[in-house]
Amino acid sequence: MTPTLADKAPARLDGLQVLRAVAALAVVVFHCHWTGIASFGVELFFVISGFVICHAAAHDPRHFLARRVARVVPLYWLATGGVFALAVLAPALVPASHASATNLLRSLLFWPYLRADGADMPLLFLGWTLNYEALFYVVFAGCLAISNRLAPLIALGVLIAAALLHPWCVPLGDPLDFWTRPMVLNFACGIGAWLIWHRAGEALQRIPAWLAWLSAAALFGVLLAGAQHALAGSLPWSGIISAGLLLALLALAGRARWPTTLLLVGDASYSLYLLHPYVLEAVNRKIHAFGPDPLGVLATLVAVLAAVAVAFAMFRLVERPSNRALRRLIG
């Protein structure tokens, strides 16, 4: 059987790295609160994750779960430890995070729980998304144990079934309620994008470049404006549109020259995602409040650039070295 484009190329996909950068920057700007940007970054990250997990496992399914732990855990635990320390030493800075051994353990183990204010968030509030990521990794690992080849299709079925069962899971307590929410369908959209790329990647790359650019611009515009939230029905429109955007950028593989800075932000997107709240809070509280006034706009720009700089430093000094060391240990 002739190998597909996805079979041939475990190489880095620059369009995907650019989209990682876009997702991380969208979350950062959204958390500045005054900009009016729609909240699409997290859904986009989940779609990317669904695609990347399928793509990586297709080329080398060995030690799948251990490799995901090596990728995600070190920096998350470090950031969570920082919030825990603040909650102990200066609780007024993180009033929603209650420093207890139980909350710390549940946060570190990606176990959903309700805070005192009723929010499904661990000590590091962004960790709620990592709770979904951890669930997806465990589900996909189980699917790989059944069949390497069929794992994406099995995982797709499991995620859709979980979302359909959500109404019956709500009364069963917070973890099941959390894990079966429609948010998990964004991973399914990423799997769907990978299945299309796996089967028809070469056909996608024959699409005229101008059409791929136009499609990407239109889909990104929809996400940026938040128009997907106005679409009727129960379909995961953010995930579907994000998957279309991902495929449009992948169709440009070899035909687009992406800015190096944007690719570097994509590399450091996980560090940027986890650590930007520290930087935003420091600038917003100590320098100038964010807002549409001239100084507020300048403070916002300074905060975003500072968050990117911190992310670059943490990626080079902590995230990448720890990931490499753990992967060597895994073998």
> What H or E segment, with its residue span, contains residue 276?
helix 269-286
Q: Residue 320 has what pLDDT?
A: 94
User: How far is residue 305's CA from residue 28's CA, in Å, rounded to a whole number?
Assistant: 10
**pTM metric for this prediction:** 0.93
Is residue 35's pLDDT more than 80?
yes
Closest CA to 214 of 189, 187, 249: 249
pLDDT band of residue 11 (cuts 50, 70, 90) is low
Is residue 4's pLDDT more than 50?
no
Q: What is the mean pLDDT of the chain?
A: 91
User: How far is residue 71's CA from residue 82's CA, in Å, rounded to a whole number?
Assistant: 19
Q: Under a CB-based contact definition with an 8 Å cutoff, are residues 107 and 122 in contact?
A: yes
* Model pLDDT for residues 93-106, shown as the tens digit of each residue: 777 778 889 999 99
* Model pLDDT for residues 217-248, shown as the tens digit of each residue: 999 999 999 888 888 677 899 999 999 999 99
Q: Residue 46 has what pLDDT?
A: 97
In the block, tokens 């979904």 appear at 132
Q: Under a CB-based contact definition with an 8 Å cutoff, are residues 215 and 249 in contact?
A: no
> What H or E segment, with its residue span, contains residue 87?
helix 64-89
Contacts of the segment 17-20: beta carbons below 8 A, 24+ positions apart: 17/258, 17/262, 17/263, 17/266, 17/267, 18/249, 18/258, 18/262, 18/263, 18/266, 19/44, 19/48, 19/245, 19/246, 19/249, 19/266, 20/45, 20/48, 20/265, 20/266, 20/269
**Per-domain residue ranges for the chain?**
5-260, 268-331
Q: Residue 235 has what pLDDT?
A: 86
Closest CA to 239 of 295, 296, 305, 191: 191
pLDDT band of residue 290 (cuts 50, 70, 90) is very high
Q: Residue 232 has what pLDDT?
A: 67
Which tokens is 73 given?
């855990």
Q: Is 142 exposed, middle or buried (0-12, 13-18, 19+ CB in 10 A)?
A: middle
Is residue 6's pLDDT more than 90?
no
User: How far is residue 141's CA from residue 57's CA, in Å, rounded to a whole number?
Assistant: 9
Is residue 112's pLDDT more than 90?
yes
